[in-house]
Amino acid sequence: MFRQSIGRVQTAVARNAAVKRPATVLQLRQTMKRFSSSSSSSAGAQKSWFGSGAMLFAAGAVSGVAALTLSSSSFTESAQAFSGASVVETSTTKLEELATPKYALPKECEKAYTEIIKLIGAENVTRKKDDLDAHSDTFWNTHHAKPNQRPGIVVFPESTEQVSQIMKITHKYRIPIVPFAGGTSLEGHFTPIYGGVSIDFTRMSSVVALHKKDLDIVVQPGLGWEELDDYLADNDLFFGPDPGPGAQISGMVGTGCSGTNAYRYGTMRENVVGLVVVLADGTIVKTRQRPRKSSAGYNLTQLFIGSEGTLGIVTEATLKLHPRPQNEGIAMVTFDTVKDAAEAAAEVVQGGHQVAAIEILDDVMMKAVNDAGATERKWLERPTIAFKFNGTKGLVDDQVKIVREISAKHGNKTFDFATTPEQRQELWAARKAALWSTIEVAPKGHDAWTTDVAVPISKLGQIVNETKADIVASGLFGTIVGHIGDGNFHTILMYDPVTERKTAEGVVHRMVERALSYEGTCTGEHGVGVGKKLYLAKELGPEAVDLMRRLKESLDPLSLLNPDKVVTINPTSPERGD
């Protein structure tokens, strides 16, 4: 048996030598591990053919070079010299294992900015203070930018190739680069923690190609979803995700967002077919072709969705479309308690009834809508569920009947149903005006802290009740609205930024901790950014966060892409979080 093994090894060595197959770092590492373990065994084993100074036929078979006469120690030295670094033994990267990233000095940044201006033209860049401020922070951010967290320049590319060339320059000079789309994110996603380049997609907002027969569309990242919806309406089509006003495709992909239609049509993860992504060094990658299904290789599309610009910058997206429904209907149903409303919604979901949307607004929210005068009608100020129905007339009629029966079973007080466009708009206006109504009726000078969590739907009524009680106990004014069909809800807290910031932080912290205790998530659709980094390890475990850090390290070894978002890559980061 032993001689047969030696014979096979010799044959393999000869074959590999004949084709002059080069050794690889991975092969050398694997072989080194085997010899290292052999050298630490018993004295008798050390005298075997694996011992020091023997002919290492196995090394030739594994590495593809001729048989080597090496000691174990010299083999280790050779492997390390070949790879240019110490052998990596682990599958994850802990924060303490990383060094502080080294970014360009101001003088080097100026050289890079000059090259970028030469590349795309002075008319496609700005360094005005107001523009730099606008690309650093917004009113909506829960974690506001510090005074020194501003980009050095804002650039407006017009094509994937320009993005690639810009990123080759930033990579050469080691300058951070942060993507900017609609500026509607909430967790500090686009704050340039280390300065650098803000890449604004305003001038990349076109439809590249509509494949009507295939029900997909290729778009640039700066296209707003509302503009996309208008375009598709003319073709009797629509795109499922419908987040807040102003959101653009780039940010929607980056956060993996959803909206009111997610219950039936899914989130961005279910509605993106493929992407074109520019990596940190300027490499352009296409993640997938257009078929609805593919088992070709790793699912790179899903890797970049929800990565918030930390792994690559999306410059094109192929999106899944749906036929525009023939008929639509809206029902607004009121209940005595959130518990009753949540239980009615849960029964609709558990029964498999495919309504288009199930949204909840608490009693405080309904009062805010009334007080703000956001709609023409006055609403009953009780917990309210907004149901959206679509499909054939028969399907809509059947679903309305079922939902009406389930609502009555749980003691609903009113059931308003509308089918005409004017009536539907009137009913749905209360849901769409939720955020603006809350801000309108809050004391002047107060900031808004909008955050979200998601839990298994069976826990939704309980966590909403507990969160409402916590808001009342805190003394803050806050409303609740949510996508109850998939267990996702939002709180909108209004607070004095000078005297009540810590109080608001406490309410949000307890809300997230509550969600995690119910096997939920710290964010259902807003993303992590800076604000939710603290909770990732609690939700997924430190090993998962370390794995994310390894992925980041692999694709962006210089830590240039939106650094310190999602996971921290700088042990001395001012936004440590995790």
**Cα-Cα-Cα-Cα dihedral of 356, 361, 367, 370, to 10°?**
-20
Any idea which residue has 């980061």 for tokens?
A: 573
- Which CATH number is 328-527's, of 3.40.50.620, 3.40.640.10, 3.40.462.10, 2.30.42.10? 3.40.462.10
Residue 269, CA distances (Å) to 106, 301, 321, 328, 474 in order: 39, 9, 13, 25, 36
Q: What is the domain class of 105-324 according to CATH?
A: alpha beta
pLDDT of residue 153: 98
Pairing mode of beta strands 216-219, 207-211: antiparallel
pLDDT beneath 50, residues of the chain: 1-86
Backbone φ/ψ region at 446: left (φ over 0), alpha (ψ -120 to 50), beta: beta
Average pLDDT along the chain: 87
Residue 116 to residue 162: CA distance in whole angstroms: 10
- In the sheet that holds 125-126, the strands lie side by side as 125-126, 153-155, 197-200, 177-180
Residue 166, CA distances (Å) to 27, 241, 257, 283, 382 in order: 36, 31, 27, 11, 53
- 105-324 and 328-527 share one fold: no
CA angle, 278 then 281 then 286, to 5°: 30
Non-local CB neighbours of 142 within 8 Å, separated by 6+ positions: 186, 187, 188, 449, 450, 451, 508, 531
- In the sheet that holds 272-278, the strands lie side by side as 207-211, 216-219, 313-320, 272-278, 284-286
Orientation of helix 160-173 relative to helix 106-120, angle to 10°: 160
Answer yes or no: are the C-beta atoms of 263 and 358 closer than 8 Å: yes
- In the chain, where the domains are located: 2-89, 105-324, 328-527
Token pair for residue 332? Answer: 């607004």
pLDDT of residue 88: 63
**Tell me: the pLDDT tens digits for 416-458?**
999 888 889 888 889 888 999 999 999 999 999 999 999 999 9
Q: What is the pTM of this model?
A: 0.83
**What are the phi and psi torsion angles at 63 (to 5°)?**
-90, -15
Q: Where are the alpha helices (DSSP H) in 234-377?
A: 249-255, 262-265, 268-271, 300-304, 338-350, 363-372
How many Cβ atoms are within 10 Å of 13's Cβ, its own excluded? Answer: 22
Positive or negative, the CA dihedral 404, 408, 411, 412 is positive
Orientation of helix 533-540 relative to helix 542-555, angle to 10°: 120
Non-local CB neighbours of 543 within 8 Å, separated by 6+ positions: 92
Residue 33, CA distances (Å) to 55, 65, 76, 92, 338 in order: 17, 18, 9, 19, 60
**In sequence order, what DSSP letters do the residues of 426-469 get, joined into one string?**
HHHHHHHTHHHHHHHHSPTT-EEEEEEEE--GGGHHHHHHHHHH
**Tell me: the pLDDT tens digits for 37-94?**
433 443 333 333 333 333 333 333 334 433 333 333 433 443 343 344 445 689 999 9
Token pair for residue 59? Answer: 């090394």
Answer yes or no: are the C-beta atoms of 176 and 192 closer than 8 Å: yes
Beta bridge partners of 284: 278
